[in-house]
Amino acid sequence: MDQDYNGEVTQEEVDEYEEMEESWYKNSSFDIEDLLFVDNITYNYVENSMDIEIEGAVGSVSSSKPLITIYNLKFESDTTIPISDSHDIRLNVNYDDSDYKYIYYIKFPTKPTQYEMTNYTATKFVEVSGKNLVKIDPGDDPEPNDDYYSEWVKIEAAKK
């Protein structure tokens, strides 16, 4: 990001890098199907909806503060979810690895009806918290040398 190699990263350089990353994702075969289901209805990534925010990059390139990249993605379904007092959500989450720490959020609607998380199912490696804004933190990959790098988390939500 330090385009002029002066040892400092400016907000303008961060903004340019964010735009470059977004452009790369928009122009690549970015496949994240079968990642999110609501009541067994597939939600698909809305093409070109990714927004990237980078926090902690402005300042010295030798800073020890963490660099946080936030990927905001939109998902939609071609099918209308039936009206119900409760819904089951399944989300496939990646474990952290040596390069990335993953944290996922699900924000439930507040209008016209407010929903909140009432229960969840996940392994002991995944932390789940919150009610209307649910935070899912998969933690470190428990078996980094196997071929599995993610797990399914089930969230149950009900009308408040």
Tens-digit pLDDT string for the chain (160 aa): 767 777 888 888 888 888 887 776 666 555 555 788 899 998 888 877 778 888 888 888 777 777 777 878 788 888 888 889 999 999 999 898 877 788 899 988 888 778 999 999 999 999 999 999 999 999 899 998 888 889 999 999 999 8
Backbone angles phi, psi at 113, to 5 degrees: -125, 135
What CA–CA distance (Å, rounded) separates 104 from 91? Answer: 9
Q: What pLDDT score was predicted for residue 31?
A: 54
- Give pTM, 2 decimals: 0.77
Those residues with Cβ within 8 angstroms of residue 152's Cβ, 6 or more apart along the chain or in another chain = 90, 91, 92, 93
**pLDDT of the residue at 63:** 79
Q: Are residues 134 and 76 in the same domain?
A: no
Whether 87 and 120 share a structural domain: yes
End-to-end distance of the chain based on CA atoms, in angstroms? 45
Residue range of the domain that includes 23 = 1-34+44-80
State which of 80, 108, 141 marks the end of a domain: 80
- Do 12 and 87 sit in the same domain of this protein? no
Domain assignment of residue 139, yes or no: yes
The predicted structure's pLDDT at residue 123: 93
Q: How many domains does the chain have?
A: 2
Whether 56 and 127 map to the same domain: the answer is no
Q: Can you give the pLDDT at residue 69? A: 79
